Amino acid sequence: GMEVIGYDPFISIDAAWGLSRAVKKAENISDIYAESDYITLHIPLNDSTKELINADVIADMKDGVRILNFSRGGLIQDDAIIDACQSGKVACYVTDFPNKNMISQKSIIPIPHLGASTPESEENCAVMAVQELREYLENGNIINSVNFPDCTLERQAPIRLCINHHNIPKMLKQFSEIFGEHNINIDNMLNKSRGQMAYTIIESSQIPDNGTMQTLEHIEGVLKVRVIK
């Protein structure tokens, strides 16, 4: 069998629960390089990850390592991977982001970049989109939004207010004061932000009246207030 070692400094609790117990957690990324016979990349391309796999990193890997990259081509330093494949340091490099210099290399296997275009991926994406939309409509929870933060709170009270607003100071204070002025108790609250946008979920056992709703909606910076019963 194969022993799996993983490294992800940003892994969420939900994602961690979904992992097999057999997966060994690496304390740092250098452990992956030093211990692995096969290395697969599952990371985005940004300024901090550009050419993550370069000549120095490859030198720290096992001789004869095999690298699979189905994330982004820019994660790999092209000249370094070609040189490593030619020398035998890297036994094989598999990628769906090849360039013309890689195609002629014996130890590099280029494959078509299908991404989410396989039948299985398209079905999984459709199911995921429906589940996340339903979660937002029924519970107000936000999952995988492009411009809003992930914000999920388990239902523990019958009434839930979901507030879309700008990420500016004293918003939560104003929400709490308005609830207090209208004698409505807050049972649970969760606030998350992403850049200039923020999202707050407030749970209560009491239904807010029209006056409460209008006061919340008139707060500067509030974009939308929604009640879920």
Q: Is the dihedral of CA 48, 5, 123, 125 positive or negative?
A: negative
Question: Is the model more confident about 11 or about 178?
Answer: 178
Task: Give the closest residue to 135 by CA, choosing from 160, 165, 116, 166.
Answer: 160
* pLDDT on residue 149: 95
Average pLDDT, stretch 53-59? 98
pLDDT by residue (tens digit) across 161-219?
999 999 999 999 999 999 999 999 999 999 999 999 999 999 999 999 999 999 999 99
38-41/90-95 β-pairing: unpaired
Task: Please state, as a whole number, how many other Cβ atoms lie within 10 Å of the Cβ of residue 44.
Answer: 9
* pLDDT on residue 18: 87
pLDDT by residue (tens digit) across 107-164?
999 998 876 778 888 899 999 999 999 999 999 999 999 999 999 999 999 999 999 9
Q: Is the dihedral of CA 186, 189, 193, 198 positive or negative?
A: negative
* pLDDT on residue 14: 79
pLDDT by residue (tens digit) across 67-95?
999 999 999 999 999 999 999 999 999 99
Domain limits, the chain: 5-110, 119-228
* pLDDT on residue 189: 98
Radius of gyration in angstroms for the set of CA atoms belonging to the chain, rounded to a whole number:
24
Angle at 74 between CA 69 and CA 80, to 5 degrees: 80
CATH number of the 5-110 domain: 3.40.50.720
Average pLDDT, stretch 45-61? 96
Cα 158 to Cα 186, 188, 206, 211, 217: the distances in Å are 12, 11, 8, 20, 21
* pLDDT on residue 121: 86
* pLDDT on residue 162: 98
Residue found under tokens 């210099």: 101
CATH classification of 119-228, choosing from 2.60.120.1030, 3.30.70.260, 2.70.180.20, 3.90.1150.10? 3.30.70.260
* pLDDT on residue 67: 98
Q: Model pTM?
A: 0.66
Compute the distance between CA of residue 46 and CA of residue 87 in angstroms, rounded to an integer.
29
